[in-house]
Structure 1
């Protein structure tokens, strides 16, 4: 299978990429990135497509993706690192633009589009809802709405909401995850064991998270069963509880 990944140099993206590289049935990995990706050096089935503007996708780029089977959209940024308009562009505009472009390129062939959202995102915000949760929820619902339009009917979106992302035991990616500032590193070192002990159900270990995301990208793209633990959004939104259930943890 041919899979596409964005956000490969991020925390979640590094885990997804590692899983793609070791999965025998993944024959090709195309990575959209603004810069080279050190993690794929020496891996013949992976290629990095340097791309700067994620709001537009020229024909020469899309021509390289004509046989794609699935996408993991792991590109993202902390809402405290950018302005609200920038956050909306990165979190909403970019994935929707690529979903439209790729769906049109591949039609009528189905394509799985797996969007990495976040626990706490909501499609029914109130005036108390944080901006990041509102925008991620908007993207989740927009992807589902897009797939219902006739011209994008081959799109198979699934949004997954990780909880506290924990790379502690994922030794294969330790050299590739983004470096933390000293302060962030100290907070993470102190907080993760506490959360792991007191609230294990809120944890998203990166090895298991990456595996579930890749399996979703390789799957049949069908909606999950409403009523199952952690499933919502017409069967196309999976909470961290659903991720852990699918991972067997």
Structure 2
């Protein structure tokens, strides 16, 4: 499988990249980023580009599967419009481009609570993306919905840090769906979804990512 990985510099995406390049089932990885990756590998193609033009460039990449780990926060994005573009616009544009080229397999790192009718803006954007991806008709579509993601980020998110401390302390008494989801477990689910694709739409909830 030749895989397009969007979001290779993020907490989850970096672990996905590591797993893909160490798995013999993966023949190559296309990992577009805004800044060059530190890692090099004969099977890794790392186009450095502006994501605003990613969809047009993606039409020239022949891949068998996509893992999308793009994602931001309202604080990082700076506005609702920017967040919508990063978490919905870019992933959907990538999906449309590769689908037009015959790609049949797509795995998305979404979020717990994703719902296109949610009153919460974040959850609604995630849900709208899932809805739009379903409409593209991928033969295999996996929607991974983690809760709070555990791991060391390059940029510390104060709210997540506090929540992780609290949830970590309460883990023994919390339901599985409320526990911290390690980035490694999320990466495992995404990689498995594209290297051993199953037909139809599958949702992987936070309880499966503990």
Q: TM-score of the superposition, structure 1-length normalised?
A: 0.74
The 1-side partners of 2:86 and 2:4 are apart by: 17
Change (3 A) 1:102 1:25: same
Moved over 6 A (4+): none
**Does structure 2 conserve the Cα–Cα contact (< 8 Å) formed by 1:112 and 1:217?**
yes
The equivalent residue for 2:96 is 100
**Corresponding residue to 2:156 among 180, 185, 188:** 180
**Does structure 2 conserve the Cα–Cα contact (< 8 Å) formed by 1:118 and 1:161?**
yes
Alignment partner of 1:113: what SS? strand
Change (3 A) 1:188 1:203: closer
Please give the root-mean-square deviation of Cα atoms over the aligned residues, in Å: 2.4
Larger-Rg structure: 1
The equivalent residue for 1:51 is 49
Alignment partner of 1:58: what SS? helix
Q: Structure 2, unaligned stretches of length 5 or more?
A: none
Matched, 1:209 2:207: no
**Does structure 2 conserve the Cα–Cα contact (< 8 Å) formed by 1:119 and 1:162?**
yes
Q: Structure 1, unaligned stretches of length 5 or more?
A: 148-153, 168-173, 224-234
Matched, 1:23 2:16: no
Cα shift readout 1:93-119 (whole Å, capped 9, x = no counterpart): 1111111111112x2xx4211111101
The 2-side partners of 1:21 and 1:131 are apart by: 35
The equivalent residue for 2:124 is 134
How many residues are aligned here? 207
The equivalent residue for 2:202 is 236
The 1-side partners of 2:132 and 2:146 are apart by: 19
Matches within 5 A, 1:32-181: 32-38=32-38, 40-41=39-40, 43-54=41-52, 56-58=54-56, 61-63=58-60, 65-66=61-62, 68-81=63-76, 82-105=78-101, 107=102, 110-125=103-118, 129-147=119-137, 154=138, 156-167=140-151, 177-180=153-156
Cα shift readout 1:48-100 (whole Å, capped 9, x = no counterpart): 111203455335x532x21x111110011012332111111111111111111
- 1:146: Cα distance to partner? 2.3
The 2-side partners of 1:185 and 1:131 are apart by: 18
Alignment partner of 1:139: what SS? helix
Alignment partner of 2:197: what SS? coil
Change (3 A) 1:190 1:133: same
Change (3 A) 1:198 1:179: farther
**Does structure 2 conserve the Cα–Cα contact (< 8 Å) formed by 1:3 and 1:69?**
yes
Matched, 1:14 2:14: yes
